[in-house]
């Protein structure tokens, strides 16, 4: 079932979300300071291609430290809200149809990853 849902996801939302995360990741990698955020954005983008069968869990490894906190604040001020709103709009649009409800729920689940990618991961 997850293979079928992943194929529908790629066709309806996954490819566009992947491209958005990739574009944001490449723009962050253009600066030296933004390289860690760019790499995280591109990793999440790759995971957006096949999200069914994965869960959002808090990242293990303790607290991110001062640098991680600064990167999280910078992410929240730049790309985080835009990606979160993108997931919200895509989720609402998908929930308008019966077939799109599981895809919409996946989008709602990924809103927290879009807002704080350094604190959550997909497993």
d(CA 25, CA 39): 6
Alpha-carbon distances, residue 61 vs 8, 27, 93, 119 (angstroms) = 34, 27, 36, 10
Residue 123 has what pLDDT?
Answer: 83
pLDDT tens digits for range 4-60 = 999 999 998 899 999 999 999 999 999 998 898 999 999 999 988 998 988 888 888
pLDDT tens digits for range 114-123 = 998 888 888 8
């Amino acid at each position: 079932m997850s293979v079928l849902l992943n194929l529908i996801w790629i066709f309806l939302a996954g490819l566009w979300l992947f491209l958005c995360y990739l574009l944001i990741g490449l723009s962050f990698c253009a600066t030296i300071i933004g390289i860690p955020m760019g790499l995280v954005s591109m990793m999440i983008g790759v995971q957006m291609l096949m999200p069914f069968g994965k869960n959002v869990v808090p990242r293990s490894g303790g607290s991110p430290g001062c640098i991680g906190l600064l990167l999280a604040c910078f992410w929240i001020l730049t790309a985080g809200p835009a990606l979160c709103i993108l997931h919200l709009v895509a989720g609402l649009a998908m929930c308008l149809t019966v077939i799109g409800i599981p895809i919409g729920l996946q989008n709602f689940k990924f809103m927290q990853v879009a807002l704080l990618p350094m604190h959550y991961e997909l497993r």
